[in-house]
């Protein structure tokens, strides 16, 4: 027995001991036939056919099925359809039948499969070990002891050759971290945690050099040898990689071109009239056969005829047998479906553990993002310096308008920064989080609470930096309690604005949509900040907006804090009547009776409402998948 099989078995033992579905899920033959996917087109154009219903085949335990075809031929669509992971889309229709161990699978079931997407995004500042620890604890929860969990993680790292990079951060396109091959292997390791019997991969070797590609494929080969069913899309494989596969499914333009053993494809094509010279690699040859040629009209016609001929031969010659409807009793189908649904009943870890793990990860991610921290600190220092360098308020009559101007700019500036940066970072994070939640690792609520809480410490730090520069430089009221309030109020204002950014991020399908909503949010908040339009002239339908205007409350808090207790001398130019006290100045803006407590309460309510709405937005926009209709 190889070291790898032993290790796989160790992992499986630990996991399966606690898994009620172990016997059923241990080995899986996946069958499929008639998979058809079409897309509605604009106007009266006929539907576009992505998969034409001719696709059929089986992926068996202990074997590797390669899915190949030219770019755009429908390979990714097919494996997503098999796994039950075609993202819901009103324009799409999906039909076909899948089988697991010769039993029909209901159209809304997911396969008991690991699905490794072509590009997997991780939280970039977590190390390899932390990423795996996090997932192992969430997926296996308290079912197994801490030492068993550690064993699972170290075995997985060993299996995938990640041990020496265990303390390297994962990285992203912007943050230096793992190499492409290591990231690919990490994404495989993450999916192997729940030890699913089927492993589906979308181009696991694309973008890797030939050595790394061979290593990843060898690893998959070993998993297959240990009894797993492997289905993998591959692109231009080397002969070495190609020959490690057992079976092959060829697709061109959504049609089935070949299904059968890898080592029979050359002779099959030869038999139907396409022979291959000895010195051409098989993979290269078959792709040439089923690809459309972009040449002159003659060339194009020739390739179209060739593709049509190969497709016609495939429908005529290639037979795959499936149980007929009568063989599957309603009961067994029902029971079967139940088992599969049960295997995805939700996170293994309790809600408190989910929260703890998510909060730890969020705090690590926030505190390790050095680049982002430096940018924010520089922003605070420069803004504090600019405001403080320009404004020297003093106590004469002119200082009244200057103070109002400065405080209103502070409120507007913080809002802009907080909303923009939240929208930018949250939309990126949401893509990762949605797929983790779709994989039943945790629920929205613990994620959301952890996310909201993890922001608080750094917001405090940034506002201390900003206030410590601006406050003394601009010469705002020299009282310790006022300074502390200033820090507290700017921090609260930032948090409220970030929460508004979260709503935008949560309801938007991507960052482009979110960023397009940003100007409207800012402009509405500025218009209704309490000074730019009179209450009487505000359209009736919009009269609620000033009550929740972020800038209005941010500004009023700062103004009430600053003006109360101030006395002005009578010198200096002035606009309007003479004002002697801060209270009189506040009166000019209709804030004479405003209490700090009221402002804080209003902001707290807005914060609560924004968090609730973002939570709702996130829950409702969670990833949903198409149901496969039986033809």
Ligand X SMILES: Nc1ncnc2c1ncn2[C@@H]1O[C@H](COP(=O)(O)OP(=O)(O)OP(=O)(O)O)[C@@H](O)[C@H]1O
Q: What are phi and psi of 233, to 5 degrees?
A: -80, 130
Asked if 72 touches ligand X (CB under 6 A), the answer is yes
Report, in Å, the least distance between residue 253 CB and ligand X. Answer: 9
Pick one of Mg ion, ligand X, none as the site partner of residue 371 (Cβ within 5 to 8 A by kind): none
With beta carbons less than 8 A apart as the criterion, state whether 66 and 245 touch.
yes
Binding ligand X (rule: CB under 6 A), the pick from 73, 109, 303, 421 is 73
Give me the residue label for tokens 């029971």. 335
Q: How far apart are CA 75 and CA 581, in angstroms?
A: 74
Q: How many residues bind ligand X (CB under 6 A)?
A: 12
Report, in Å, the least distance between residue 551 CB and ligand X. Answer: 40
Q: Which of 26/236 has CB closer to ligand X?
A: 236
Q: What is the CA radius of gyration of the chain?
A: 31
The residues near 176 (Cβ < 8 Å, ≥ 6 apart) are none
Which residue from 543, 494, 501 is spatially nearest to 522, judged by alpha carbons?
Answer: 501
Distances (CA, A) of 4 to 8, 101, 141, 229, 470: 6, 26, 25, 16, 61
Asked if 74 touches ligand X (CB under 6 A), the answer is yes
Instruction: Write out the H or E segment, with its range, that includes residue 602.
Output: helix 596-620
Q: Which of 75/183 has CB closer to ligand X?
A: 75
**Binding segment for ligand X among 12-20, 74-82, 353-361, 472-480 (CB under 6 A)?**
74-82
Query: Beta strand 48-59 with 30-39: parallel, antiparallel or unpaired?
Result: antiparallel
Binding mask 84-123 for ligand X (x = CB under 6 A): -----x----------------------------------
Which residue from 165, 91, 87, 100 is spatially nearest to 126, judged by alpha carbons?
Answer: 165
Report, in Å, the least distance between residue 38 CB and Mg ion. Answer: 18
Q: Which of 285/625 has CB closer to ligand X?
A: 625
Binding ligand X (rule: CB under 6 A), the pick from 39, 327, 374, 375 is 39
Binding mask 439-468 for ligand X (x = CB under 6 A): ------------------------------
Q: Which of 201/449 has CB closer to Mg ion?
A: 201
The residues near 45 (Cβ < 8 Å, ≥ 6 apart) are none
Pick one of Mg ion, ligand X, none as the site partner of residue 39 (Cβ within 5 to 8 A by kind): ligand X
DSSP 237-250: --HHHHTT-SEEEE
Q: How far apart are CA 532 and CA 29, in angstroms?
A: 68
Pick one of ligand X, Mg ion, none as the site partner of residue 185 (Cβ within 5 to 8 A by kind): none
Report, in Å, the least distance between residue 35 CB and ligand X. Answer: 11
Q: Which of 245/568 has CB closer to ligand X?
A: 245
Task: Summarize as ranges the residues that interact with Mg ion (CB under 5 A).
Answer: 76
Report, in Å, the least distance between residue 412 CB and ligand X. Answer: 40
Report, in Å, the least distance between residue 233 CB and Mg ion. Answer: 6
Q: Any alpha helices (H) in 475-549, and if so which ranges?
A: 480-507, 511-527, 545-548
With beta carbons less than 8 A apart as the criterion, state whether 362 and 454 touch.
yes
Per CB under 6 A, which of residues 208..267 are in contact with ligand X? 235
Q: Which of 170/311 has CB closer to ligand X?
A: 311
Asked if 77 touches ligand X (CB under 6 A), the answer is yes
**Binding segment for ligand X among 68-76, 150-158, 208-216, 547-555 (CB under 6 A)?**
68-76
Which residue from 598, 410, 542, 420 is spatially nearest to 486, judged by alpha carbons?
Answer: 410
Which residue from 184, 122, 104, 189 is spatially nearest to 154, judged by alpha carbons?
Answer: 189
Pick one of ligand X, Mg ion, none as the site partner of residue 380 (Cβ within 5 to 8 A by kind): none
* SS3 label, residue 549: coil
Asked if 624 touches ligand X (CB under 6 A), the answer is no
Q: Which residues bind to ligand X, rule: CB under 6 A?
A: 39, 50, 69, 71-77, 89, 235
């Amino acid at each position: 027995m190889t070291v790898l099989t032993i290790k796989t078995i160790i992992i499986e033992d630990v996991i399966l001991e606690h898994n009620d579905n172990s016997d059923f899920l241990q080995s899986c033959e996946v069958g499929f036939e008639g998979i058809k996917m079409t897309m509605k087109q604009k106007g009266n154009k006929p539907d576009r056919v992505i998969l034409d219903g001719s696709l059929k085949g089986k992926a068996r335990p202990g074997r590797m099925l390669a899915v190949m075809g030219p770019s755009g031929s429908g390979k990714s669509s097919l494996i997503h359809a098999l796994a039950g992971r075609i993202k819901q889309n009103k324009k799409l229709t999906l039909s076909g039948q899948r089988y697991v161990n010769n039993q029909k699978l209901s159209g809304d079931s997911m396969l008991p499969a690991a699905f490794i997407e072509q590009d997997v995004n991780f939280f970039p500042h977590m190390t390899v070990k932390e990423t795996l620890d996090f997932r192992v604890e969430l997926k296996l929860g308290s079912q197994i002891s801490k030492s068993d969990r550690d064993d699972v993680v170290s075995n997985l790292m060993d299996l995938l050759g990640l041990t020496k990079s265990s303390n390297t951060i994962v990285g992203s396109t912007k943050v230096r971290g793992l190499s492409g091959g290591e990231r690919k292997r990490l994404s495989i390791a993450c999916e192997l945690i729940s030890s699913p019997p089927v492993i589906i991969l979308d181009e696991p070797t694309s973008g890797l050099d030939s050595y790394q590609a061979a290593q990843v494929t060898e690893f998959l080969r070993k998993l297959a040898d240990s009894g797993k069913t492997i289905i993998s899309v591959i692109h231009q494989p080397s002969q070495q990689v190609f020959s490690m596969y057992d079976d092959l499914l060829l697709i061109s333009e959504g049609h089935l071109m070949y299904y059968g053993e890898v080592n029979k494809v050359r002779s099959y094509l030869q038999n139907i009239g396409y022979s291959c010279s000895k010195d051409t690699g098989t993979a290269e040859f078959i792709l040439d056969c089923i690809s459309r040629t972009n040449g002159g009209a003659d060339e194009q016609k020739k390739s179209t005829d060739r593709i049509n001929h190969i497709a016609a031969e495939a429908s005529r010659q290639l037979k795959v047998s499936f149980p007929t409807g009568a063989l599957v009793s309603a009961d067994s189908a029902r029971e079967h479906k139940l088992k599969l649904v049960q295997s995805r009943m939700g996170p293994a870890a309790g809600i408190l553990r989910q929260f703890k793990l998510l909060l730890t990860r969020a705090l690590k991610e926030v505190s390790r993002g050095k680049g982002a921290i430096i940018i924010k600190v520089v922003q605070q220092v420069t803004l504090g310096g600019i405001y403080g360098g320009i404004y020297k308020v003093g106590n004469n009559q002119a200082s009244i308008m200057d103070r109002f101007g400065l405080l209103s700019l502070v409120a507007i500036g913080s809002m802009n920064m907080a909303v923009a940066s939240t929208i930018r970072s949250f939309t990126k994070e949401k893509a990762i989080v949605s797929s983790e939640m779709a994989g039943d690792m945790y629920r929205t609520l613990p994620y959301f609470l952890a996310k909201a809480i993890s922001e608080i410490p750094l917001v405090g730090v940034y506002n201390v930096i900003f206030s410590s520069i601006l406050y003394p430089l601009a010469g705002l009221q020299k009282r310790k309690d006022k300074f502390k309030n200033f820090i507290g109020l700017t921090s609260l204002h930032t948090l409220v604005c970030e929460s508004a950014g979260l709503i935008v991020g949560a309801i938007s399908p991507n960052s482009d949509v979110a960023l397009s909503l940003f100007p409207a949010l800012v402009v509405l908040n500025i218009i209704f900040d309490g000074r730019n339009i009179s209450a009487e002239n505000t359209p009736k339908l919009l009269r609620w907006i000033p009550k929740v205007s972020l800038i209005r409350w941010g500004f009023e808090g700062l103004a009430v804090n600053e003006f109360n207790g101030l006395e002005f001398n009578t010198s200096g130019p002035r606009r309007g009547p003479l004002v002697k006290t801060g209270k009189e100045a506040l009166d000019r803006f209709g804030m004479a009776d405003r209490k700090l407590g009221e402002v804080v309460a209003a902001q707290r309510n807005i914060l609560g409402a924004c968090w609730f709405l973002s939570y709702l937005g996130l829950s409702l926009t969670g990833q949903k998948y198409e149901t496969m209709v039986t033809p």
